[in-house]
Structure formats: structure tokens, C-alpha cells
Structure 1
């Protein structure tokens, strides 16, 4: 309905992958080259791994790849890998149009049929490629079967090239010790990053041109805001830009400005989508300003930056004592172990609000706060108990070392579970009032990536520092920065020390002491910790 208004032939920002609209940034060109490498002779057999966050363009690249397949290549594409090992083999044979009528669900019979086909294809000079999308959803048994497929070979060459496309969790799964045999067969790896600010602008202009626009209605400031709200994720760029075009049409506007993008983002994106990475904390800062020292969330020039006089290191600001609990609130034994199916069934029967898990987390911190109120994760649950909610990987949470709540999903149901610990293979979580051990791969498949964590810090963190960059909150940060011997002043020197600390912890190195950095600074303070042994 808005096409005539903007002089367009077709909608420019459909979220359906369309190779005609593909925008090949330098990162996307590199990723496509890795995929083509996997299909060409350079692949040499084995695996090619391409990962990227949701919405960064993996599926679009896959479709573009299918349009560029060499004539001597035969491709089997599996889009839904939530299969058993036998179902995966059957699907692969179906994709290659092989007759499996007499295999009767036998792994050996299916592999024999496949091996015969691959040898025949090799004799004809053909290359056979298996592409598995959303590969992070493969079960352990299916992954092992995929690995075994690479054993089909001649004296000089693998008969099957395998390309794994997946979200960042795939890298985490393949980094496990029990997956090392598969990981060692990966011949090429590439992680697809979001677009930077300039690429986001070029992406929007490109899609407008393909849709028929002579001039883009998006101002420079609007493009900047699109990148801020989307984090450079193409799918979110599409959603925001599409809503902005509709809004412009509704208001009979001929230009789209920054405020139009802000409104479009509020209308189009869920709260967890609106603030990826650094922008998430920019949005959170508005809420936190009254209670978590707003100056922490934004770098600013201080009059003492150029002429700070060293002073004696002040005594650390003491937080309210948080002694370790004398005994765990959970009975350590016996802990039932659930396989993937049992875990999924348990999720389906869990309550949606996850109040028992929130209550257990608060109890581990010796807090008597109301669990229902805390479940909204306000910046400060108590004057000295702070809450952080965001997205992460399991490895990142393990590095934090604190119990954390995981948002788990199973079809239409979702709930919070409390992560209590993990080893190389299993994770221990509390679901409802029950503590269970579950395979880490099964947990990863059920986890949305969203988490919530709490930590204790002094009430001084809510106090605004003086104009010269000093104050109790600065003293606390100063005392917790490892190895920092500079003055207790929020100046360039301290911000550089913060950046070094952030880099050492795998955080965004912006020099800003936001919630993640505060939590990381306090990891050595008293409080509950994740178990590293489940025996």
C-alpha cells in the first residue's frame, strides 16, 4: 500500500531471504567464499563451518550459494536437523533421490546405499555436498553420524563434503572435548558478524535501489539510528526500515528522520530485540540512572582527565556482608540425570514465570526479596543487590562464575531455570523446585540465549560522583580493578584500565563501567558460585 508513495516496485525490506536483495559486505563475501571453497576442489572433504548470530544472513547466503553451484556438484540440503541419526541418513538419501525401500531403518543399509551412490558419483567426476542449516540443533548421536559420513572415502579423497551452518552455539558445541574428533575434521571456519554503521547504511540504500527507488528517503541520521537499534543485524534492519516506511506513508512524509526510526523501533521490536550488545545497555541506562550511578553507563570528558593529581589509594567501599551460605539450599544428592527428550518433557510441564527458580537465586544470595517482583529484574532488587538481564553464551556465564537464570523454551512454552553448575558434558539446573542434570547440548538447544543474574555491591553505586570524578562508587571500581595503581578518579587513565579489564573478560572494550562490567568486577566478592564438578 505504501509502494506508490515511495515509488517502489516491490517491498524492499521483506524478511524472507531473497538472493536478489542480498547485500555482500566484505564479511558476507568472505563467508560466501568459504562456502564455495567447501563445494570446490579446495575443500578436500571434511567439514566447512559457518556460524553467525540470528538474522545475520546465513540462510540468505546459503540460497545464494545454491544459485552458484558448479555443474559437477550435487547438493543435499537439510533445513530441519532436529532428527535422530537414522532420520538424518534417511533425509540425506531422500535429498539425493536414492531408493531406500529395502533399508528398513537400518543404519548399515542406509550407509551402504549412500556409499554406493558416492562411489558412482566420484567415478563420474561429481562432487556431493551435504549442507545442514541450524546445525546447532543436531543431537549428539546425529553429530556423531555426520562425522562418520566423512569416513566414506577413496584412497585420495573424501566422498562427501559437509557444510554446517549454525548459530554461535554451534562453535560452543564443537569446542567440547567429546566433539574433538569432529572438530579436527573442520577444514574451514567462518563466523559471520553483523554489519558496521557504514555497511548498514549501504545495505538500506542497496535494498531500496533493488526495489525500484531512485532516491533513498532515509536521512543520514536515520541510518545511524537504524544501526543503533538493530546492532547491524540485517533482519532487524529490515523490520525497522519496513515499519519506518509504513509510518512515513501514514504521515504523508517524504523523508524519514532519526525520530521516525526511534518510533519504528519501539513499535516493531520486542524489548529483547531493541537493544543488542552495546545498545542494550544504552537503553538500560535510562532506567538505571536513578539507582545505579548514571555516569557509569556513558563515557564523558572530565576536567581532571588532563591534570589528575595522584592520591593515596582509598580504602575500598565495603558492600553489605554476603557470607557464603553454610549449606546449599539444594540437596546435592541424588540428582536425576535427564536425556534430551525427558528434559524437553519436563520443560513442557514447567510454570511460565519461573518463580521457584527466581526464589532459589535470591535465597542463594541470602535475600528475602519478593521473587515475583524480582522476576522483572529491576536495576536494584535491594539497595545493595543488583540485577542484570541480557544475552550470552554458556561459556560466558561460566566465566562469570555465578548462578544465573536461563530462559528456556520448548515449542510454545517457556520458563526460567537456575544454572547451578556444569562440567565438560553436563549442566546442573533447577527446574521449578527440582534439581536435575542435563546434557549440555540438550540444554543449549532449549536455551534462548537470554539470562538474568544478580550480584551484590555497595549502596554507594547508586550515588552520583562529584564534579571532579571522585566518589564512593569510583572508589569501589578503583579497589576492584586488578593491578590498577592509578588515582581513584574517573579519568582517561582509569577508563583505559577498565578497557584492559573488559578485554581480559571478553566484554565490550568501551571503557564504560556498565552492568556487565560491574558484575565481572565483583566476581571475587563473597557470594554463591557455580559448581565446576557435578560428581
Structure 2
């Protein structure tokens, strides 16, 4: 395969919807923000509708949404929409863990069971969301059943929130007069369109970077051809780009040219009129891995193999700076309508009509303070790693430049996922331009944030106005550390991985080889941590293996959250 040839830790153009590969454009972020608003308290139990042509990223955006739903939200994901109303009702119940064995033949009994479940969840302060993919395949009768489910309510609150994903036919379907009641309950609508040329270029560059590429092998002419042949549809971009990389590998070419792209497109689009084109291998890890890696781990706590996580980590007293927060002078009182053109990835033409919360408008961060935090983020992370001169190296690593003594992982998730990792991270906030803010810990009444010697405690809602789940985690790493480690390999890096596995929550106690037994253990470890269970130690798996062995820096947690 071409992964090692191009220096990749994983396939960059897989067609499976992996939220880690999502590149959020301004318009895409706006769409995701409104989706999160829709499934949160702002949704008020209505419908959220997301449509787009085949392959434009609907399911990927949905997965991204699901990665960020609060912990108190239960989600039922319906992937098969070619069902009868009764089968749809049974699927929703089963996704929520409701036993339908004795009641599957009765719509009434299933609705009663669902109603009882929703009331129980409401009483526990939890929300329930149903996401239906390919909703354009639902019959009018099934859609009516969906509408009736949203009638389940208390005197004050709707008990169920619905998200409908579908092709443009869904919009036409909901215009039917017999479905007007459902259409009137849609609180937010979005329509995804294909990428333009600049967005295609940014999309390819982003996916290559996330996959671990040291450079982008696609030439400018190849990107132009890729856009022309794919029409800017992300799924087609993935398929053609993957085949083009394979062709370049087969020809031992370190660059992907327009000729490779045209040949790939001719293979995957045989019905299309074919276009005829005009006429870095990765260094193998060396013995220096052992010495360089040892430096990192001995410095930051792995080598001693004792008291790896202090029972009482040093905690600086946070400073509450209420002056850094403000509220807008006037709350929005009219529905917002967006007609957006993206400049980086999926352009979303959004027509939004969302209800405005009656509560006070959200807190907002003071701009000058946030700008200063952005300026100091890299230096703060270097100081947390007790290596104050490494700020440029950390910044370079997070910009995709390898081999400088640090590694950086861009990830997407929620607060719980960050707490589970247990390390300080750099939050990526989306103000007028992206801003970096160091998250150093969690307090009972908010987040511990900020650069320098002091920390600021701020309520989560102040940050969540600008945060869509993106963050970066960095760590020291030998320049020759392999991009991935898999079954059958051996050497210093493998030995270190096996040692780290012995400190996992469910520790590895087997042999000292990366054999079938360790591969099976590793896949279980990956599943427990929400990682791709492929049995390969890439950057994501590595940092989750490494995290328990790091003494400092640690994410500061309230006492009831410390392990």
C-alpha cells in the first residue's frame, strides 16, 4: 500500500465518515453551530433538516455533531430509512435500548414504552435525539409517524428532538401539503453544495496533513484536474485522490500529477467521457530512536515507572476574571437567515429559522484578552512541558512539520473526551479568525484557562459560544519515531509501546512482542477510548497509551474526577 511510501499514518481519503478528517470552513462551522443549537436546549423539540447532493458530506457532518453532543444526551441513529412506520418505531426503540420483544407488533405499546423512557430520561435531566439518515427514502406515512413522536411532551418541554439528513428530494417531499405540519416544525434547514476549486485544494491539503503527510504530493495542476473531474463532490474527491495516490506509488513517483488524476478518474467514472492527459519515501527508523525517545520519556515521567500520576498535582490558584466576560447589548429578536458561501470547505447555503432562547444572552469573551491568549498559546504549552524554548517546534508540529522533537494531534470531541485524555490541550476557537486558547483543567464551576503563571476560571458556556469541539494536543517525540507500529514489528519503539501498555487501565500483561495477542489487546484498548480499532499504533493511539505515564503536565481535574 502507499501509506509508508508517502509517509502517512493512515489512509487520507477513506470514504468512511471520520470526524477527525473534517475541515470546518466558516460556513460549515456556522452550520454545525446551528445543528448543535438545534439538538440542544435551543431546539425546543423541533426538527433539524440537513440536505445535500450525494457525497457532499452530510453523514460526515452528522458524525461530527454526534462527537460533540453533551454527555447528558442520548442519541438514536437510524441508518436504514427504507422501513415501514412500525419498523421505524421499533428501530428507534431498539437504538435507545428499549426492549421491543413482546411489543413489536403494536405501535401503541411501542409508543407507550418510548413515552415512559423519555419521561424517565427527562426526569434525570437528559435529552433524547433521533437522527435519521437518508430521510428522503421515508414514506409519507413514516414521516407522519416521526411527527407524531414529537408530540410526546410535558407541560413545558418536548421530550424528543429529531434530525433529518437527506438528499435534495427530502426538501421536495416535505413540501407536500399532507406533510405541512411536519415542515412547520423544522427549526433549522441547511443545504450542502459541492466544493469550489480553492476549497478542494484546502480539503486535500487538510486530509493529507491529518493522515501524517510531511508534504502535500498533489501538484497544483493535479488539484485543478481533481476539481474538474470530481465536480467538487467530497466523496468523488476521496475516491479519485486515493486511486491517484496508488498510481503514483506504483510508478514510484513522489508527486501526484494531473496525468495520475485523469487516469484515476477514468477508472472510477467509466460512464463519463474520458479525458486523456498531456504528455518522499519515508526514512526507516534508526537505532537513534532508542536514545531520542528515552530522552523524552525520562524527562517527562515515563522511565521511572513509579508514581506516574501524582495524587495531588500542583495546582495554581485560578483567578476569576469576570471583567473578561461581557454580554451583548441587545439579544437577537428576529430569526436569522443565512445565505453563505464558504471559503475553505463544504459551502453551506443555510436558511435558518431558529427560535431565540428566552434566557439571558450568552456570555462573550473579551476580544483583547482572547487575542493575547492566542499569542501566548504555544509558549504556554512549551512551559507546561518544562521546555520553554520549544514553542516554535510545537507550533511547527501543529502546522504539520514533522521531525522537530514534538508531535501534535488535531482532534475533535467533547469535554469528557479531553478529561479522559488527561492532558492540557489547545482549544481552537472560531471568532472572526481562529484563536488558540490553552485549557489547563476543569474546576467545579468552570474551565481553567490561560497562559503564563496565572489561570482564569470561566464558565463553559462562555467558551462554547466559540468552540466546536476542535483541539490540539502536543507531546515530545523523537524525530525518528515511526509513523505507525503494527503486528510483527520489533525494535526500541515497539519495546516502549509495550512498556506503556503495561500502565493502561486494563494493563497488558502478555509477552514482550507485538504479536497477535498484543494486537487483540490493542484493539480492545482502542475501542475503550473511542479510537479506530485497527490494531495499529498511530499518533492517536500513541498519545492515549502515553498519557497515563506522563507525570507533568497533567490536566487539572476536580477531586471527584481524578483517577
TM-score normalised to structure 2 length: 0.47
Return the index of the structure with the highest Cα Rg: 1
Q: Relative contact order (C-alpha < 8 Å, sep 6+): which is higher?
A: 2
TM-score normalised to structure 1 length: 0.50
